[in-house]
A and B are shown apart, each in its own frame.
Chain A
Amino acid sequence: MHLEDLAEKAAEFRAEEAGIQREVRVCVAASCQSSGSLAVMEALEDACGDGKGTCRVKGVGCMGLCSAGPLVSIADKDCSLDESVLYRDVTPADAPEIMGSVCGSPVERLRCPTDQPFFARQHKIVLENSGFIDPDSFKGYVAVGGYAGMVRALSEMTPADVLREVTTSGLRGRGGGGYPTGLKWSTVAKMPAGQKYVICNADEGDPGAFMDRAVLESDPHRVLEGMAIAAYAVGANKGYIYVRAEYPLAVERLQTAIRKAKRAGFLGSKVADTQFSFEVEIRLGAGAFVCGEETALMASIEGLRGQPRPRPPYPAESGLWGCPTLINNVETFANIAPIVREGGDWFASIGTERSKGTKVFALAGKIRNTGLIEVPMGTSLRDIIEIIGGGIPDGKAFKAVQTGGPSGGCIPEAHLDIPVDYDSLKTLGTMMGSGGMIVMDETSSMVDVARYFMEFCMTESCGKCIPCRTGTWQMHGLLDAIAKAQGTHADLALLEELCEVVQATSLCGLGQTAPNPVLSTLRYFRDEYEEKLQRAEL
């Protein structure tokens, strides 16, 4: 199949819907579903009737402003979210009024402005189709240019060409570490030909993070396309998607996507009528955070206990069942199709010197607009929190923002102007992580924050290595005592010493980074610890 054939198919799918002019798009991603969007959709469908064939109600993926859900947007068929009329907090009872407004003036009572910075300041690559296409529709994805990256790679490029584009793009892994994706792919590609695997890491276990879930629920074909391109580039013919079982909707949409892509000949044997074959299987994780670590994840796929093992050998050399394996995060794969479609140089023109492209963040905590955003790398934290996020509600003052989940750290007001990229965050003692951003106001106690994350690491430690298994237990005990104003200066000294030992000696990233929240809150908010100690020693 060539690009022209695909374009023809896309045109055909669009023609099937030529009669439809207006669309009523209802968010059916998990967050809006939990606030009742399915009932809203049903009511809208009832109110629509057959819509005289020119209007349709369509379920779409996440529109970003999840805290205002259920969200419904009304637009001409080809118009994006910015150009639509957006309604927030919609209930089934609003359906007749909303349907009545499809061709008339909007229902002001429910309106949510789309020219506000929350929407206007975003730059969407990963989420370009999110909130726009029906995630369960294969035709819908192709109609907006889906699978063009894969067909282009298979029909016009050699694997080496694909590797070159991905390397040129400067894309770095979105799973937390920020390892250069092109380099990882080339390493797997250079391993001798034979059985190789591609794995998509969708285990997303950081508290407060839901970026990967949103991508899978809103645009699952994009991830499959990225994986297929990766498999072609590195010489693999089999892929696994490791999703946590707590994401049933994502799993269901992925299953549908795989089934439909296979039926259309875009997965399976002879993909798009070429010699390339690629099978994809879903594996469910049972919710252990450590199973997101790549070696533990592979052990879990193999049916073993999900526990990390020493690296090297890295998965690229010896991964699943000892075969060379490429493992990337959901968002990493979601960037691949646009890179192949538009070229690596295009991607590299977005972002900063050493962090290219965009990053999806999940805004949570004490912030007005909680939800999902995508911004170019290098956007300042202040812009994200104060402008896009709308600042702190209830007239409270900002205190700190936590990035990188249990492996990251807190950033105080004084550093809010730094650009968000892998290296700047590291210099502040935190990390990009997978994209969770928890905002805290003046009422939050930083000792409590450190204790919360330490408790998380303690309960999620797999128990394989001594420093993490028992060190996190000890550190949690010390933090608990300090938080309850029962700790002494000697306790704090011991805590700092344990931080150093656990960081330096743990086997995997979980233990190595578990002290980070403590170290960073000590770095910027030491006075809060001191104050608690003084109270204890009075």
Chain B
Amino acid sequence: MPLPATQPNVRVVTLKIDDLDLSAREDETLIEVCRENKIPIPSLCHLDGLSVWGGCRLCVVELEGQNRLLAACSTRVAEGMRVHTNTERLQRYRRTLIELLFAERNHICSVCVSNGHCELQWLAQKCGVDHVRVPYRQQPYPVDSSHEMFRLDHNRCVLCTRCVRVCDEIEGAHTWDVMGRGSDCRVITDLARPWGESDTCTSCGKCVQVCPTGALVKQGTSVGEMVKDQHFLPILARRRHAR
């Protein structure tokens, strides 16, 4: 008879998030605990099933006794933590970050295929961004329509790298990368060749589904038609990790 499987040695900790007393496995991150307990935290680069990125900074939270803010997606829980997720200061910071994103590239929602199904729009609504106070950058970027099924519009890209990570970590193709610096960063396929000429792309479409905005879309969609489905991701990711 096989021996009973030994329990992996993971402890449970207790912590307090916004007046709620909670318990969590010590290997969980704050954002995971918040999602389990229906505590809303805005996030853009985080996606259940992909590796931690920590780039959008929308998930920052306050930890009592510490001046520096923490990103909930890349901070592990610890015994006795007291976390605040929605203070006036955090709300103000998040609004500014979202404004900065809108001003960085071209987000004219009324002509966007993702209008009404876009995570950036939802975030703006949830965080109460009703206007943008910083000047727009007005820098045009190209559109790559060379792939027969999909299209990439850099003008809508928020550089969350979800496409890069899903392609590398889940599909295993590693078609995507990031090139450049600062606001001129761009996602690229293979060595900055047109997507349609890519040797590595399997046309699986995972990048399109995980893309939060109208940057990666299906060909042939028109305004407001691009609805994305990300349910496959946690399931596939768990199967992969189990292996």
Contact = CB atoms under 8 A, between A and B. Distances in A.
A401 B184 CA distance: 33
A463 B180 contact: yes
A310 B57 contact: no
Interface stretch (A83-91, A332-340, A499-507, A530-538): A499-507
Interface string A463-504: 111110111111001000000000000000010011001001
Given A470-B100, A473-B104, 12 more contacts: A464-B55, A465-B54, A465-B57, A466-B57, A466-B101, A466-B158, A467-B100, A474-B135, A501-B92, A504-B60, A505-B57, A505-B93
A470 B103 contact: yes
B182 interface: yes
A461 B103 contact: no
Contacts of B191: none
A74 to B, nearest CB: 48
B181 A467 contact: no
Given A310-B52, A465-B57, A477-B135, A505 B97 contact: yes
Interface of B: 52-58, 60, 68-69, 71, 74-76, 92-93, 96-97, 100-101, 103-104, 133-135, 137, 158-159, 177-178, 180-185
Given A462-B181, A473-B182, A501-B97, A467 B159 contact: no
A310 B181 CA distance: 18
7 contacts: A310-B75, A312-B76, A458-B182, A465-B57, A474-B135, A504-B69, A505-B57
A507 B54 contact: yes
Interface in A265-315: 288, 305, 309-310, 312
B134 A465 contact: no
A461 B57 contact: no
Nearest to A508: B54
A504 to B, nearest CB: 6
Contact of B71 (A288, A305, A310): A310
Interface of A: 288, 305, 309-310, 312, 458-467, 469-474, 477, 494, 497-498, 501, 504-507
Nearest to A501: B96
A501 B69 CA distance: 11
B104 A505 contact: no
A80 B193 CA distance: 59
Contacts of B134: 474, 494, 498
A305 B177 contact: yes
A386 B69 CA distance: 41
A497 B97 CA distance: 12
Nearest to A477: B135
A463 B45 CA distance: 13
Question: 9 nearest interchain CB pairs?
Answer: A463-B185, A310-B74, A310-B54, A461-B182, A470-B100, A505-B57, A470-B104, A501-B96, A464-B55
A505 B137 CA distance: 21
Contact of B182 (A459, A467, A501, A504): A459
A465 B133 CA distance: 20
A463 B100 CA distance: 13
Given A474-B134, A497-B96, A507 B57 contact: yes
B101 A470 contact: yes
Contacts of A507: 54-55, 57, 71
A494 B184 CA distance: 23
A288 B178 CA distance: 15
Contact of A501 (B76, B93, B104, B181): B93
A425 B97 CA distance: 30
A467 B55 CA distance: 9
Contacts of A470: 100-101, 103-104, 137, 183
Given A469-B159, A494-B133, A463 B182 contact: yes
A463 B181 contact: yes
Contacts of A497: 96
Contacts of A498: 96, 134
Contacts of B135: 474, 477
A288 B181 contact: yes
Given A466-B100, A477-B135, A507-B55, A460 B177 contact: no
A310 B96 CA distance: 21
B93 A473 contact: no
B103 A474 contact: yes
Contacts of B74: 310
